Amino acid sequence: MPDAQQAISRLGNLSYVSPSVESPWGTYLAQVDRVVPYLGELARWAETLRRPKRALIVDVPIALDNGEIAHFEGYRVQHSLSRGPGKGGVRYHPSVTMEEVMALAAWMTVKNAAVNLPFGGAKGGIRLDPKALSSRELERVTRRYTSEIGFIIGPQQDIPAPDVNTNAQIMAWMMDTYSKNVGVTTTGVVTGKPVSLGGSLGRVKATGRGVFVTGRDAMHRLKIPMPGARIAIQGFGNVGANAAELFSMAGAKIVAVQDHGGSLFNARGLNVRALAAHVLQHGSVAGFPEADELGQEEFWTVEAEVVIPAALEGQINEVRAKLLNAQLVLEAANGPTTPAADDILAARNIAVLPDVICNAGGVIVSYFEWVQDFSSFFWSEDEINLRLDKIITGALDHIWATSTRQRVSLRTGAFVVACERILEARNQRGLYP
């Protein structure tokens, strides 16, 4: 896997350093390569999909509670701004790299275009373990990071949001810091804020809801009955837990769950709310008394109609793709399936609903939040959910029809829809100077 410096070197010349296709950026590039033959005359602009518009690395120094000075490395990548301001989350994780953030920003470009939002794609992150920092240290690192990237973000430039290990409180600190630096309260600079600071109702559960709504639609199309359907979920954070609750309420059985602490199995179906309470208290699904423990790789062999990867990228590789006993994969995480695994799943007739539509519920409601902040007029949660459902199901209809017409996978169909919109905007705007 190439390091961050190799990934950065790709921005400056045509003779790219070849990344591993198993890496996030390599996975994204392979996905672009697969869609280019379907872009017609717009293919002349395809190289813009392979190059982030702007990539920023910042040093984030803070004073720790014990008085020592610590330095963290932060990133913000704007992949494309052709269709509007950048939009994408900020993650805090020990494994964050520039290459990963580049890929995540690119997937945001595709995702926003796939559901036809007026945004480009961006992403950010800081390489740190938030569990190793106190709340005061997290606030300091957030405010310093916001100040360091402040000149490229803004409600009409680039709008951050929560991602892995970040939340409404982190967004509140970012919004406050940016507002202090520009001299005016600017609620629209971030989304995913607390409702009391201009956040939107329904935002916290939006990504999980989108996974459920698109998953329900896909199950119907594939003739998988919802009542009694067995579902295995990797990742039981905000997205995985909310999706699990909605599927369970609809009559499905959550038979297996895996997170960083362990894997669980219960053939009768897990009590999702009890499991969520256990995770809140203990920090992991490990030790939940109403289930049997599984090995890490054994999780991928569980018999289930639906598998939902809702953790980090690259989780379904060639080996695991051969193990899956499922009919449908719902990509709640970003980039969870490698290109080689995609091919294996296709050969095994296992459908994959790609991340760029399956987990788009969060950014759709972020768009609603952004609009509400501009107008200072806020909608009810019922209105939010109705609007979300309408946009995401309409987008899925278009993608499914494109996939069928072009005789390609749902992922390539989604990329065809999105990349046509992105490159048409690029073509119409032209080059300046």
The length of the chain is: 433
**Cα 213 versus chain centre, distance:** 16
Return the residue matching tokens 């518009």. Answer: 53
| Token pair in block for residue 114 | 């796939």
Strand pairing report for 230-234 and 121-127: unpaired
Q: Distance (Å, rounded) from C-alpha 251 to C-alpha 235?
A: 20
For 335-342, the CB contacts below 8 A with 24+ separation are 335/24, 335/27, 335/28, 335/103, 335/104, 335/107, 336/309, 336/311, 336/312, 337/309, 338/21, 338/22, 338/27, 338/314, 339/21, 339/27, 339/30, 339/31, 339/34, 340/21, 341/316, 341/317, 342/409, 342/411
DSSP conformation class of 333:
S
Which position among 53, 123, 205, 253 bears the catalytic label?
Answer: 123
| Token pair in block for residue 138 | 């997290």
Query: H-helix or E-strand containing 54?
Result: strand 54-63
End-to-end CA distance of the chain: 36
Q: Distance (Å, rounded) from C-alpha 309 to C-alpha 158?
A: 28
Q: Distance (Å, rounded) from C-alpha 152 to C-alpha 226?
A: 45
Q: Distance (Å, rounded) from C-alpha 431 to C-alpha 289?
A: 61
Establish how many alpha carbons lie within 13 A of residue 184's alpha carbon, considering only the half-sphere containing its beta carbon. Answer: 5
Is 322 assigned a catalytic role? no
Bond into 94 cis (ω within 30) = no
**Cα 240 versus chain centre, distance:** 12
Report, as residue numbers or ranges, the catalytic residues: 123
